[in-house]
């Protein structure tokens, strides 16, 4: 395994940004950036052995700051939405910035995804660390977050997320990479086939905040229990699809047990033969089909991406969990360690 580090510009505040490449013996590689502990590129072979970058992203570090798609980065302190930017914890109400209609999304406009993390090479892995101060974006507690990436000889990217706090708080961490298994810039992902290990999903209101109990997917366009082309029902007249202009919803992973890896999703492209299996210890997965990618910064392919050119498979806790006591808890107390894992396993079929 070869791990390299290079300077990749500076943040608006003047902090150095670094770009890391982890390359295995076959030549397949991952590129990571200290902006938002982000995945900048993943080059893996197709069925003919040809390498291509299958992650959407930008050719320069500056474009990763405050981009609408949150491309490839780790949002926080709370990934996804919190209704009305409010939650109550141990009898105290906290107010967060609103940046998604009436709601708080991905930690707000200055979330973890828009910060330059400290970074280092540790053996064959790359570690990113961010220290979030008490009161940052309205959240309580000093929090230290570490994102550790490992790349394997069989083309598996492993992300280990840990966090500690000195005051009771809430946390929800994930990675927001967009995948196109035909290669970034190769067109839309509507012909990709998706399978989810989930028999229920969370219905939402029109602002994408969950309402009521989880609903069975059977008999609806939300059913991906068997492989189905993403585009098959994406234009159906169905509330979840109307609200988000496509899929932007949370599915509950079957058989969730804290700390245990489960397959969340499998994505495959008949065209390239590439297959991506996503495993996680987290209870849910948000599928977002890039419904609003148009207008994003110019991509690595030399142009801005169009809608539906990538799909994000965001393993996480459920949106609005701080206001939903029935959901798996996102509360982190000083004596506890937040510890979750996501694995992206690439292969060909």
Mean pLDDT of 110-136: 98
Integer Cα distance of 176 and 57 in angstroms: 11
| pLDDT reported for residue 212 | 86
CA–CA separation, 331 and 299 (whole Å): 36
Start-end of H helices in 205-297? 239-244
Please write the tens of the pLDDT for every residue from 80-97. 999 999 999 999 999 999
Give per-residue pLDDT as tens, 24-47.
999 999 999 999 999 999 999 999
pTM (2 d.p.): 0.97
- Give residue limits of the domains in the chain: 2-188+284-348
User: What is the token pair recorded at 28?
Assistant: 């397949």
How far, in Å, CA of 273 to CA of 259, rounded? Answer: 31
Give me the percent of the chain exceeding a pLDDT of 70.
100
In 14-42, which positions are buried (b, 16+ CB within 10 angstroms) versus exposed (e)?
Answer: eeebbbbbbbbeeebbbbbbbbbbbbbbb
**What integer pLDDT is reported at residue 325 of this predicted model?**
95
Whether residue 259 is predicted with pLDDT greater than 90 in this model: the reply is yes
Rounded Cα–Cα distance for residues 231 and 286 (Å): 17
Question: CA 134 to CA 120: how far, in whole Å?
Answer: 25
Residue 66 neighbours by CB under 8 Å, 6+ apart? 109, 114
Contacts of 294 (CB under 8 A, 6+ apart): 304, 305, 306, 307
Bridge-partner residues for 344, per DSSP? 157, 278
Q: Which residues are catalytic?
A: 176, 314
Over residues 297-319, mean pLDDT: 98
CATH 2.70.98.10 correct for 2-188+284-348:
yes
* Residue whose tokens read 């392919």: 301
pLDDT tens-digit map of 140-156: 999 999 999 999 999 99
Q: Determine the Cα–Cα distance for residues 223 and 295; give it in Å rounded to an integer.
A: 30
């Amino acid at each position: 395994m070869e791990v390299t580090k290079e300077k990749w510009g500076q943040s608006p505040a003047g902090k150095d940004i670094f770009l890391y490449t982890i390359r295995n013996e076959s030549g397949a590689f991952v590129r990571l950036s200290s902006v938002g502990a982000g995945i900048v590129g993943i080059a893996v072979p197709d069925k003919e052995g040809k390498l291509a970058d299958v992650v959407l992203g930008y050719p320069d570090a500056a474009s990763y700051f405050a981009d609408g798609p949150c491309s490839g980065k780790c949002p926080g302190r709370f990934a996804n939405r919190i209704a009305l930017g409010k939650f109550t914890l141990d009898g105290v109400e906290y107010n967060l910035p609103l940046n998604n209609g009436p709601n708080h999304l991905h930690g707000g406009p200055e979330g973890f995804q828009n910060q330059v993390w400290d970074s280092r090479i540790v053996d064959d892995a790359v570690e990113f660390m961010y220290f979030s101060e008490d009161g940052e974006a309205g959240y309580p507690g000093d929090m230290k977050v570490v994102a550790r990436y490992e790349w394997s000889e069989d083309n598996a990217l492993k992300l280990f997320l840990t966090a500690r706090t000195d005051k009771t708080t809430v946390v929800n961490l994930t990675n927001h990479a967009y995948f196109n298994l035909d290669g970034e810039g190769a067109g839309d992902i509507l012909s990709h086939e998706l399978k989810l290990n989930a028999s229920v999903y969370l219905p939402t209101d029109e602002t994408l905040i969950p309402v009521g109990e989880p609903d069975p997917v059977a008999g609806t366009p939300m059913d991906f229990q068997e492989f189905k082309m993403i585009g098959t029902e994406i234009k159906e007249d169905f509330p979840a699809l109307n609200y988000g202009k496509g899929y932007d919803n949370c599915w509950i992973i079957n058989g969730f047990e804290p700390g245990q890896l489960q397959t969340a999703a499998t994505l495959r492209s008949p065209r390239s033969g590439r297959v991506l299996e996503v495993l996680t210890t987290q209870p849910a997965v948000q599928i977002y089909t890039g419904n609003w990618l148009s207008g994003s910064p110019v991509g690595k392919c030399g142009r801005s991406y169009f809608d539906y050119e990538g799909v994000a498979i965001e393993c996480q806790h459920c949106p609005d969990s701080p206001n939903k006591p029935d959901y798996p808890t996102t509360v982190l107390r000083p004596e506890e360690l937040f510890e979750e894992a996501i694995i992206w396993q690439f292969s060909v079929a």
